[in-house]
Amino acid sequence: MSDIVEPQDPCVERLAKLTGDRCKAKNAARRLKALTEKIDEAELAAEADVFRAMADPFRLAILQLLRDGELCVCEIMTALERPQSSTSHHLSILKRAGLVKERREGKWSRYRLSEGAVIEMMNLAGLMTDGREG
Amino acid sequence: MSDIVEPQDPCVERLAKLTGDRCKAKNAARRLKALTEKIDEAELAAEADVFRAMADPFRLAILQLLRDGELCVCEIMTALERPQSSTSHHLSILKRAGLVKERREGKWSRYRLSEGAVIEMMNLAGLMTDGREG
DNA sequence: CACTCGTATCAAGCTAATTCGATATATAAG
DNA sequence: CTTATATATCGAATTAGCTTGATACGAGTG
């Protein structure tokens, strides 16, 4: 019962074996632990939800269409030649992720892009893929 | 056999019924068709691959760790307390999507973020979720 | 060569996502 | 009230993705 409270932290043990140097290992472990503690799991989960919503070519096509303005479900399904149920379903996913907004007008549901980072993210993704197949 | 070649384009028919105005319908259909033709399916698929690679909290945590520099598999699995096979598997997904780069050094595989838009995309996703959960 | 260690890949079980027809809800019109 | 139309939701089948132990590969070491 004295100086340090972590006599055999498994993380340190692990890294000590890696480097062979127990002192280095402790520093590395401290650095990794600091990095890990900065990670907010709930926030990462929320961000993953956003990315998952954009991880489908059909939904990206919808977002592309909406760049030029508001459209209703029937216009989107017509333009992209997809069944109504599928179109509506994917729009609900985009809406839940906060990527699009809905405006009810009579029996029509008109969808538009959310203000904010949506367009920028699509542009960035475009940049990332340009290097590979352009 | 004369003026127009699209006597019963199903898209126009669809929109004509919607608006009740055949002329408007034709314009709307033309606009939608122009938008649709601008869409490059292969590029959307590639972008979807990038987003799919980022659509997992564990992989986002890996990317977060790598913001501060290169790490090997064993450091990542130790920091995030995940099995080795899982860590390696997710790193391969990130690598395939072009989000990280690998550097072999002896028996170690050291991973780092790809230069480019990766960090910006994570920042943007963070912005998008900020508004929802404080 | 035998052994160790770091990493990659495989395999099997499980969960989540996609698809689309069928059905339900809601709004408007006759 | 019935009908039509636009959209949402359900259900069931298929597919894709995650997880993890087991195994294979590759590079060092004795």
SS3 track for chain A: CCCCCCCCCHHHHHHHHHHCCHHHHHHHHHHHHHHHHHCCHHHHHHHHHHHHHCCCHHHHHHHHHHCCCCEEHHHHHHHHCCCHHHHHHHHHHHHHCCCEEEEEECCEEEEEECCCCHHHHHHHHHHHHHHHHC
Q: Does domain A47-133 match CATH 3.90.1720.10?
A: no
pLDDT for A134 equals 42
pLDDT for B115 equals 84
Show the CA angle centred on residue B10, arms to residues B9 and B12, nearest 5°. Answer: 65
Cβ of A32 and B125 within 8 Å?
A: no
Q: Which of A12, A75, A82 to mutate to test the interface with B (most CBs of B within 10 A)?
A: A75
Domain with CATH 1.10.10.10 in chain A: 47-133
Task: Tell me what the pLDDT averaged over chain A comes to.
Answer: 84
Cβ of B52 and A51 within 8 Å?
A: yes
* For residue A11, pLDDT beyond 60: no
* For residue A50, pLDDT beyond 60: yes
Which region among A37-41, A111-115, B93-97, B126-130 has the lowest average model confidence (pLDDT)? B126-130
Chain A segment 82-121 residues within 8 A of B by beta carbon are 98, 116-118, 120-121
A61 touches chain B (CB under 8 A): yes
* For residue A29, pLDDT beyond 50: yes
N-term to C-term CA, chain A = 64
B40 touches chain A (CB under 8 A): no
A113-121 long-range Cβ contacts below 8 angstroms, 24+ apart: A113/A63, A113/A66, A113/A67, A116/B127, A116/B128, A116/B131, A117/B124, A117/B125, A117/B127, A117/B128, A118/A63, A118/B128, A119/A67, A120/B124, A121/A54, A121/B121, A121/B124, A121/B125, A121/B128
Architecture of the domain delimited by B46-133:
Orthogonal Bundle (1.10)
Q: What does the pLDDT average to over A83-107?
A: 97
* For residue A107, pLDDT beyond 70: yes
A52 touches chain B (CB under 8 A): yes
Coil, strand or helix at B1: coil
- B74 sits within 7 Å of strand D by its CB: no
Nucleotide nearest to A102 (CA to C1'): D7
- Residue ranges in chain B modelled with pLDDT below 70: 1-22, 24, 131-134
N-term to C-term CA, chain B = 64
d(CA B62, CA B48): 20
B44 touches chain A (CB under 8 A): yes
Please report, rounded to whole angstroms, the spatial distance between the CA atom of protein residue B107 and the C1' atom of nucleotide D29: 13
